[in-house]
Amino acid sequence: MVEGLGVSQVFALLPAQLTSMGVPDADRLQFIGLFSALLFVLGMPLVPLWGVWADKYSRKAVIVRSAIVEAVVFSGMALAREPWHVALSVLLIGFQLGNTGVMLAGIRDATPRPRLGTVIAIFGASGPVGFAVGPTLAGILIDGLGWSIGGVFALSAALSLGTAALVTFGSREVRPEVVPEGRVLPLAFGAIRGVFADPAVRGIFLIFGTAFLANQMSRPYLPVVVEEIVGRGPGLASGIALVAGTAALAGALLSPAAGALGDRIGFRPVLVAALGGGAVTLALMPLAPQIGGLPLLALVAVAFAAASSSVSAMVFGLLATEVPAARRSQTLNLVYLPLYAAGILGPALGSLVVRAGLPAPFFLGAVVFVIGAVIVVRHHVRPAAETTEARAGTPFV
């Protein structure tokens, strides 16, 4: 939750921070897209290694490492005085990635089976709750109490150090049932090969990456849309909090409902509907200021967050049902690789198309969502268990 809180503040406050540094408007929109792409550049190649290191040596140490890096990143944002300071701080975020799959694996091994679904649902909601709290807290501190942007990031750095201490001294090490043996690099590349050799996983990861690509293409520019409505003076942070914070919280609350609906009618139909809903709401987002102002923008953002969180819930449901148990841990450790790839490509594409105007990243993202829905409809991959059974000629257990 603390990680989501701090990273959401980076997204929410980046435009205002660049303005305060004197970045010209002609360059600012492209800077926003390029800086957002830096989040995943260093981290993506290391993600497979963190999963192996965690299982081989210590899950606890890998999680604490993320929290300490978060504190360094947010401290850098607090101290930044030039655009390149911001770029360097954002680039370091890559070193804090690779903890979600490790935490999921630890939760799976430490939680009694009858409570596993509930605990994973709570864990899954913690990130969106952090993304809701982050902009809201920033709005209260900046507009209500007169804090600076640097002060907000300093508080997030302190909270990250607190979570590092909490995990270090308040939790026990949870070791996997099977500890991998051998050198780290071959184990990491072997895990990647094993996961992507499965056609079901490839298809699910493609859908996941498509949805994230659309999201990451447009997300950095949502605060700029708010800025067009409320201006750059007092009230901007609160306006961003209303739109981004409310949307993230709604996404967290609506995700379990999407999961229940998927249980009743199937994950794929709900996934197609969620992708379609994401396309419609994303296309409406840059038009909302002219139609209904800030309230309508907030409502559209909530609908988009609900669609986006439903996509994630359905993807996790497909992974739970279509990936064999023997490869499930590896897949969980690599589940966010599509996000990291989209996190680099999406903002970079956004920074290019935004030259045509602020609505362009949103419209292109809507098209990408439609492409994702078409992929789901046209390519129904057989569950991995079925293909494994067919190859082996014996029932899959």
Give the model confidence (pLDDT) of 156-202 as tens digits.
999 999 999 999 999 888 887 767 777 777 777 777 777 777 777 77
For residue 321, what pLDDT is reported?
Answer: 64
What local confidence, expressed as pLDDT, does residue 282 receive?
93
Tell which CATH architecture fits domain 2-171+183-392.
Answer: Up-down Bundle (1.20)
- CB-based contact 204:319 (threshold 8 Å): yes
Q: Which two three-digit tokens encode residue 118?
A: 């509930």
Confidence of residue 117 (pLDDT cuts 50, 70, 90): low
Residues 6+ apart with CB under 8 A from 158: 71
- Among 322, 319, 324, 317, smallest CA distance to 335 is for 319
C-alpha to C-alpha distance for 223 and 19, rounded to whole angstroms: 12
- Provide the whole-model pTM: 0.71
What is the percent of the chain where pLDDT is above 70? 88
122 vs 165 pLDDT, higher one = 165
Element housing 356 (H / E): none
For residues 135-153, average pLDDT: 91
pLDDT tens-digit series, residues 299-354: 898 889 888 888 877 877 677 666 666 566 567 667 777 877 888 888 889 889 99
What is the predicted pLDDT for the residue at 392? Answer: 37
- C-alpha distances (whole Å) from 312 to each of 74, 139, 390 are 27, 28, 29
User: How far is the C-alpha of 292 from the C-alpha of 99, rounded, in Å?
Assistant: 40
| Confidence band for 396, pLDDT divided at 50, 70 and 90 | very low
Measured CA to CA, the distance from residue 336 to residue 211 in angstroms comes to 12
